[in-house]
Amino acid sequence: MWWRRHAWIPVWIAVFLTPVALLALRLIDDTSFALLLQPVLIVLVVLCRAMVAVAVRTSARRSLGRALAAGGGAVLAAGLLALPTIHVIGQRSCPEWMGVDRGIQVSGQMFDAWRKGELPPPEVWAGTAVAEAWKARVGKLRLIDYKLMDSGCWERLSPVTTGKTWHEFRVTVQQGDRDRFSKMVTVYTRATRHGWAVAEVEGPEP
């Protein structure tokens, strides 16, 4: 059969079609078929790996080293071609199928604890460094009120990443006996095994 004699042809066709496939999947990200994205991506990855494995196995009969080098080169080329499509190019609203939380709830826990003069629960933070930085930043400020202004995901040419989100809040704070003033705070959250966690916070700047 021809694919046994030319096992690398399908592999390199798949390699060069990788960015095209990601762009095509991005087009359906906001449609009713968006729930199929993850299964389709998994199937595509499995198929590509299977194609590379078959090609390596077929070529290994002649030269194992050359076959492994070709397999590694194909994987590297696919990654390099896909790299521009996974680069973040801006902000956008999150797909509806992600639900209404998307890290907003854990951000609210952080602000509620600040307003009460308490420390947020440890599970709110993605790491201790984030917690320490936040504690140092708001130590002398008292939160009066906060309001969610905007929330969303990161825009890119491939399907939207669902593991990282951003949320903009307008906060009213007071320092000592001075007048109250408003500032913008942007909270960056990411998905974890137990839900969402705060990965970084920008603001409130003095």
* 140 and 72 housed in the same domain: no
Q: Which residues contact 9 (CB under 8 A, 6 or more apart)?
A: 3
From 25, 60, 86, the end of a domain falls on 86
Q: How many domains does the chain have?
A: 2
Q: How many of the other CB atoms lie within 10 Å of CB of 25?
A: 19
Would residue 15 count as lying in a domain?
Answer: yes
For residue 1, pLDDT over 60 is answered with no
pTM: 0.75
CATH number at residue 189: 3.10.450.50
Residue 91 covered by a domain = no
Instruction: Say whether both 78 and 117 belong to one domain.
Output: no
Token pair for 3: 């694919």
Secondary structure class of 155 (helix, strand, coil): strand
Print the domain residue range for 131.
96-202
Same domain, 147 and 175: yes
CA atoms of 101 and 107, how far apart (whole Å): 10
Residue 5 binned pLDDT confidence (cut-offs 50, 70, 90): low
Q: Quick: pLDDT tens for 34-69.
A: 777 778 888 888 888 888 888 888 877 777 788 788
166 forms bridges with which residues in the sheet? 152, 188
Together in a domain, 189 and 103: yes
What is the amino acid identity at position 156?
Answer: R
- Same domain? For 46 and 70 the reply is yes
Same domain, 75 and 123: no
Last residue within a domain, chosen from 68, 86, 104:
86
Q: Give the mean pLDDT of 89-114.
A: 87
36 and 115 inside one domain: no
- Greater confidence (194 vs 145) lies with 145
Task: Quick: pLDDT tens for 153-191.
Answer: 988 888 877 889 999 999 999 887 778 888 899 999 998
Cross-sheet strand order for the sheet of 164-174: 90-92, 142-155, 164-174, 181-192, 195-202
